[in-house]
């Protein structure tokens, strides 16, 4: 641990002790005020401008700081879009890629069912004044439209590994949820038919385990030639599952182009997590 980190930890402990000594309602009021005032805003410069991220925890701070380095293939993919294109960010988390796309003047629909992440997504849209470019929607996607549960592996700000309608993780294995919350899930085809939203030219899917169901529920949408490309994060270690998802996407006329995994996960149990990019051939 660095000297700077030790000093920060000591200052934090002294502050906590002082607040506890005050006790009662004053302690609660001061803690609440400090939590709001000291939640850092991380500013990240890009070639298109600066994005600000509200970071009330280590995970969202890490996501903000690694915007350009964690998944460079996602940034490169977004950079290929035309200015008038529309991106659907399914599993947007705190919105780092939605914000980047909006900074490029694209129209973005961001879908995030986790309540804590949806709050941060909305806050990030607010502090960047991007509500005219990003529409944040708190729903899940699935193969059929239904009222069910969102099973959350954790409820931390910026956390991931949630699953709609069944408690399975990104490797297809059952897990014990930290919290189960009621959630509305749509098939993409039903969502498009019922609400006629801005139609996607590009779709990013990062949902940790039910990618096949989402693709099955988007058969008509994906077959529309207006959909130019898709990026899906999949566990490459599940070869049969990946092959089935790739086959479903290619049946819609969007061809598998390449896959890339984040090197920062090489020594972790996420080492097989890879972004699979699909592109519709030009006629």
pLDDT band at 281 (very low <50, low <70, confident <90, very high): very high
pTM recorded for the entire structure: 0.86
pLDDT digits (tens, 9 = 90+) for 228-262: 999 999 988 889 999 999 999 999 999 999 988 76
Which pLDDT belongs to residue 161? 86
pLDDT digits (tens, 9 = 90+) for 209-222: 899 999 999 999 99
pLDDT digits (tens, 9 = 90+) for 119-170: 999 999 999 999 999 999 999 999 999 999 999 998 999 998 899 998 888 7
CA-CA-CA-CA torsion for 47, 52, 55, 61, nearest 10 degrees? 10
Give the residue among 148, 144, 152 at the shortest CA–CA distance from 118.
152
- Distance between CA atoms of residues 244 and 242, nearest Å: 5
- C-beta neighbour count of 203 within 10 angstroms: 26
pLDDT band at 22 (very low <50, low <70, confident <90, very high): low
Q: Is the pLDDT of residue 28 over 60?
A: no
Q: Is the pLDDT of residue 13 over 90?
A: no
DSSP labels for 104-166?
A: TT-EEEEE---HHHHHHHHHHHHHTT-TTTEEEE--EE-SS-EEEEEEES---TT---EEESS
- Distance between CA atoms of residues 88 and 226, nearest Å: 13
Q: How far apart are the first and last CA of the chain?
A: 57
């Amino acid at each position: 641990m660095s000297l700077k980190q030790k000093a920060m930890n000591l200052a934090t402990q002294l502050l906590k002790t002082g607040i506890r000594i005050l006790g009662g309602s004053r302690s609660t009021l001061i803690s609440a005020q400090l939590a709001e005032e000291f939640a850092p805003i991380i500013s990240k410069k890009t070639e298109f401008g600066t994005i600000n991220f509200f970071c009330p925890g280590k995970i969202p701070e890490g996501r903000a700081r690694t915007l350009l380095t964690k998944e460079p293939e996602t940034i490169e993919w977004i950079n290929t879009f035309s200015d008038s294109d529309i991106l659907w960010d399914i599993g947007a988390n705190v919105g780092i890629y939605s914000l980047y796309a909006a900074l490029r003047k694209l129209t973005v629909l961001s879908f995030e069912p986790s309540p804590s992440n949806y709050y941060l997504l909305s806050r990030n849209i607010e502090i960047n004044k991007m509500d005219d470019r990003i529409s944040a929607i708190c729903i899940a996607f699935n193969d059929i439209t239904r009222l069910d549960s969102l099973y959350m592996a954790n409820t931390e700000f910026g956390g991931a590994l949630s699953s709609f309608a069944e408690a399975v993780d990104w490797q297809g294995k059952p897990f014990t949820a930290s919290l189960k919350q009621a959630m509305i899930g749509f098939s993409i085809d039903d969502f498009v038919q019922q609400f006629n939203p801005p139609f996607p030219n590009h779709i990013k899917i990062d949902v940790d385990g039910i990618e096949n169901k989402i693709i099955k529920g988007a058969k008509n949408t994906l077959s529309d030639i207006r959909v130019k490309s898709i990026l899906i994060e999949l566990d490459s270690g599940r070869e049969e599952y990946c092959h089935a998802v790739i086959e479903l996407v290619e049946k819609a006329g969007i061809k598998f182009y390449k896959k890339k995994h984040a090197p920062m996960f090489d020594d972790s149990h996420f080492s097989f997590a890879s972004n699979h990019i699909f592109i519709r051939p030009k006629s």
